[in-house]
Structure 1
Amino acid sequence: MAMDADAMPDKEELPGLGELSRMLQIPCPSGREERMAAHLTARLQQLGAEPRKDNQGNLWVELPGRESGPGVAIASHIDEIAMVVTAIEADGKLRVQRSGGLYPFKLGEGPVVLVGDGQDIPAHLSFGSGHTNDPTDPVAQFNSGSRGITWRDCHLLTGLTPTQLQESGVRVGTCAVPAAGRRGPNLFGPADDPLVSAWLFDNRGGSLILLQLWCWLRDAGVTPLRRLNLCFLVQEESGLLGAKGWVRRNEVETFVAVDSTPMPRGTDLTLDGRPGTWSRDSQVHFDQGLIGELAAAAGRAGTELQYAVYSAAASDATGVLQVGGAERCATIGYPRENSHGYEVVRWSVFQHLTATLGEWVASY
């Protein structure tokens, strides 16, 4: 049945959507994940977990295993792509560059928030006026189709002087993200299994799955074979740094990254509720035996995996393999349209992916 505005479910009616909505309101650019970590810590404690945190900012929950030996990690990163201030001009305008894989066309002009030292400052991303025929003007060139808008053509309007910005905790290196009112979630499509769009699922979707997985294991009374770590890691978007640091300090034999599964042109991925797994990314081949185990678990959970090969993607599992942090690694996730933008997923994928990981842990 198609959904009209009056039939749209409340955010609390779809399992997990309220949880996602609350996470969407929390700015968490790379290097400034402390508020998301605090939120997740409180939620895990409410769910009966005892989270731990290291000095890098990584957060995790440890479930004891039935046997001793190297453990297993299932991990989501908690940071998001952003803008970073590179210069403060005399009139208070801010020059910005990307942090992670963010491009101006994904955002468009609109309200953003600067994650200052101590407070958030509202601002507005601007490309400048298009009412000109000057062939050297970047907006005129964009309007004519001769080239795209790049970060050097962008600035943030703040309405504040450099002194006021400094007093507000805004400086070179401060990050900015879209304002909360632009983030969603937005529901559309069939009422019984809607599509949901938001800025950004990557990787609040992974954190949502780990919260749901904790509840799945708790309610099913599962004690894993080996020590299991559910990890919420920092700075994936700036070099897979949280994962690399965490595995250097915590011994694991198997590492599974839970992330999005992008849908570039040429892949066979669809938004039909089935999880996706990365067979190979831009840098590594993942453990095919582990992928087979996850596929079998998906079957027991009543779904099946989709498979992808990427030429321009990497996950925390990639970084773990690069530093020799685990013998076996895989990446599994939720297919999404419009990667690094207003991303779209089929909501049922989160239930299917949670159950798949639960079945895998139960039979590991």
Structure 2
Amino acid sequence: MPTPLPDLLAELLRAYGPCGEEGAVRDVVRRELEPLADEVAVDAAGNLVALVHGTDRSAPPVRVTAHLDELSMVVKRVEPDGTLRVNSLGVMYPGNFGLGPVAVLGRRETLTGVLTLGSEHTTPESPRIWQTKPDGGDQAMDWTHVYVFTGRSADDLAAAGVHPGTRVCVHADRRELTTVGDFLGSWFLDDRAALTALVAAARLLRADGGRPPGDVYLVATSSEEMGGIGALHASRTLPGDLTLALDVGPAEAEYQVTVDGGPVVAYADDAVVYDRAVADALVDVGRELGLDPQTAVWQSFDSDASQAKAAGLTARAALLSLPTLSTHGYEVLHSGTVDRTARLLAAFLARPVPPVSG
């Protein structure tokens, strides 16, 4: 039986998936897509690629991406006392993660640590802490101010396989979905909510034996937070001229996007202008379905698709965003957003790819 979508989202959120080590998340997505796809494989970049054959061999293929990786930390050095100094993987700050328990993914053991600044009951004699106080330097807390307490010796950490380069993630104990009225909250809805929508769209597309016009490559990509690495590889190696990304999008007044509104069709971001014909078609499909699609021009933002187009690896790019509060923080989306996004995507994929406009 297919996993219910709320349960699937919760399972994906609990799985650790730092950049370059997304295997636990990939395994869950693979389990869900294998019954729906004609071919499933993991490529050289760590992407999961699920191919659904179309009915018309002459129709253009489409690549649809949603990324596996999450914002995380990486060990910069192991101090002699067993504490870890860390940097971020992706654009994230300690205040976004919140101080508290973390998982240190050693090669031979996963350890629990605590991301900490130190005691507030300190004076200028503790300058690292004092700098962040309003009556001190009033600096925003950054990675130079915090460390991970492990309770282990440096030798213990070495035996566990912890060293510079080891990934550190928000602990699983802090990754449960929170229900806030009609909304859901968690870290890493970026991009686990989009992965859930990808699976849901595949189910809708294949319902009652349905198939798209052209081949559809459903790609769960690696290392998006480090520059769209997996999507660049997939766009270069898979057939087709269109890469359509699924990702969160900031529900902010700046963009006239609301968190309880419909899926967001992006027309541009910091990297590219998205394909107008595809964006218009997504909007039209959303309106036909009564999904009240929103439109946006994102800033301080890029996606799998826009990074691939900017690199010259896809001729056409599109982005369908899930409107989300507090992106790259403790994120919140409406409980109906995943379903609405999946319905729009499935209906779009069930139609021929619109021709290039201009």
**Fold shared by both chains (TM-score > 0.5):** yes
Contact 1:244 1:319 in 2 (8 A): yes
* Cross-structure match for 2:270: 282
In structure 2, the partner of 1:363 is: 351
**SS state at 2:223 partner:** coil
Aligned to 2:355: none
Counterpart Cα distance in 2 of 1:168 and 1:247? 37
Question: How far 1:49 moved relative to its partner?
Answer: 5.8
Q: Contact between 1:138 and 1:149, CA under 8 Å: does it hold in 2?
A: no
Report the equivalent of 2:187: 199
Bigger mean CA offset, 48-57 vs 305-314 = 48-57
Contact residue 199 and residue 343 of structure 1 kept, 8 A: yes
- Counterpart in the other structure of 1:209: 197
Give the match for residue 86 of structure 1.
Answer: 76
1:186 partner amino acid: T
The DSSP-based 3-state class of the residue aligned with 2:205 is helix
Unaligned runs of 5+ in 1: 1-13
Contact 2:179 2:185 in 1 (8 A): yes
* Contact 1:252/1:325, CA 8 A, preserved across alignment: no
Residues 213, 358 of structure 1: 8 Å contact kept: yes
8 Å Cα contact 1:273-1:352 kept in structure 2? no
Cα distance in 1 for partners of 2:120, 2:56 equals 66
Matched AA of 1:156: V
Q: Could you tell me whether the CA contact under 8 Å between 2:38 and 2:52 is conserved in 1?
A: no
Residues 28-53 of structure 1 show CA distances to partners (whole Å, capped at 9, x for unaligned) of 00010112112222232355664211
In 1, Cα distance between equivalents of 2:261 and 2:339: 9
Write the deviation string for residues 40-90 of structure 1: whole angstroms up to 9, x where unpaired.
222323556642111211111111122234411111011011011001000
Percent identity for Structure 1 against Structure 2:
28
Q: Does structure 2 conserve the Cα–Cα contact (< 8 Å) formed by 1:83 and 1:177?
A: yes
Amino acid at match of 1:104: P
Question: Equivalences for 1:180-199 in 2 at 5 Å?
Answer: 180-189=172-181, 194-199=182-187
For 2:5 and 2:164, locate their aligned partners in 1 and report how far apart those are by CA, in whole Å. 37
- Greater alpha carbon shift after TM alignment, 229-238 vs 325-334: 325-334
Output one character per residue of 1:233-265: Cα deviation in whole Å (capped at 9) or x when no partner: 101001111000111111212211000011345
Amino acid at match of 2:342: T
Per-residue CA distance 1:278-311 (angstroms, 9 max, x = gap): 2111121101111010011112222122122222
* Aligned position for 1:76: 66
Once residues 314 and 287 of structure 1 are traced to their aligned partners in structure 2, the CA distance between those partners, rounded to angstroms, is 14
Q: CA deviation at 1:135?
A: 7.4
Residue 157, structure 1, aligned to residue 157, structure 2: no
**CA pair 221-100 structure 1, distance change in 2 beyond 3 A:** same
* 1:187-228 residue CA offsets vs partner (Å, 9 max, x unmatched): 012xxxx10001110100111011111110111533211111
After alignment, is 118-127 or 60-69 more displaced? 60-69
- Cα distance in 2 for partners of 1:265, 1:93 equals 41
Indicate whether 1:43 and 2:32 are aligned.
yes
1:143 aligned onto 2:133: yes
Structure 2 residue aligned with 1:128: 118
Query: Aligned partners of 1:248 and 1:358: how far apart in 2?
Result: 24
Tell me which of 174, 192, 206 is aligned to 1:218: 206
Q: Distance in 2 between matches of 1:93 and 1:32?
A: 22
Q: Is the 8 A contact 1:165 1:171 kept in 2?
A: yes
Question: Contact conserved, 1:336 with 1:343, CA < 8 A, in 2?
Answer: yes
Cα 1:354–1:220 shift into 2, 3 Å: farther
Structure 2, unmatched stretches of 5+, are: 353-358
Compared with structure 1, are the counterparts of its residues 49 and 21 closer, same or farther at alpha carbon in structure 2 (3 Å cutoff)? farther
Conserved? CA contact 1:45–1:51, under 8 Å: yes
Q: Which residue number in structure 2 is paired with residue 239 of structure 1? A: 227
Match of 2:51 among 43, 48, 62: 62
Q: How far, CA to CA, are the matches of 1:252 and 1:323 in structure 2?
A: 16
SS at match of 1:102: coil
